[in-house]
Amino acid sequence: MALSIGCEVIARYFFRRPLMWTVEISEYLQIYLAFFSAGWVLRKKGHVSLDIVADRLGPGGKKLCRAITDVLGIFVAGALCIFSAIVTREQFLLGIPVIRSLEIPKWLVIAPISPGMFLVAAEFFVKLLDDLRGGE
């Protein structure tokens, strides 16, 4: 991404011939990077968490809060995984392109959402098992 934007700057300011596709490609790459890294970030406990209520509870209450959060995370990520897989399949079958400087099939743009959410759901499941066993 950084390389393509660097090429864009050079092409625009030194050769006065901007590359029309760099911003678009960077936007698409951000979608891929965000969804494919979300599960890893969850594993490393890098997501934002609010523990205002959990800090006021005892050890049993904290464990319950973590388990509830994990179960909700599994359901939300699972629902997003299934729904996005359905939408991606529909877009693939319809062959609708994203009309911008590049005509990229829309399914390619939204394709990383479903596997990314599957990885998040799987990580929440692993986290739930760990929390139920008493892990920190």
Q: Chunked in runs of 10, what are the mean pLDDT values of the chain (136 residues)?
A: 87 88 88 95 86 82 89 97 96 88 88 96 95 78
Instruction: Count how many domains the chain has.
Output: 1
pLDDT tens digits for range 10-27: 998 999 888 888 888 888
pTM listed for this prediction = 0.83
Residue 94 falls within a domain, yes or no?
yes
1 assigned to some structural domain: no
The range of the structural domain enclosing residue 79 comes to 38-132
Residue 117 belongs to some domain of the structure: yes
In a domain, 42, yes or no: yes
Among candidates 92, 118, 98, 101, which has minimal Cα distance to 36? 118
Tell me, what's the pLDDT at 135? 63
Indicate whether 15 belongs to any domain.
no
Q: Is residue 57 domain-resident?
A: yes
123-136 pLDDT, tens digit each = 999 999 998 887 66
Asked whether residue 23 is domain-assigned, the answer is: no
82 occurs within a structural domain:
yes
45 Rama class: left (phi>0) / alpha (psi -120 to 50) / beta = left
- Are 36 and 116 in contact by the 8 Å Cβ rule? The answer is yes
Distance CA 11, CA 111 (A): 30
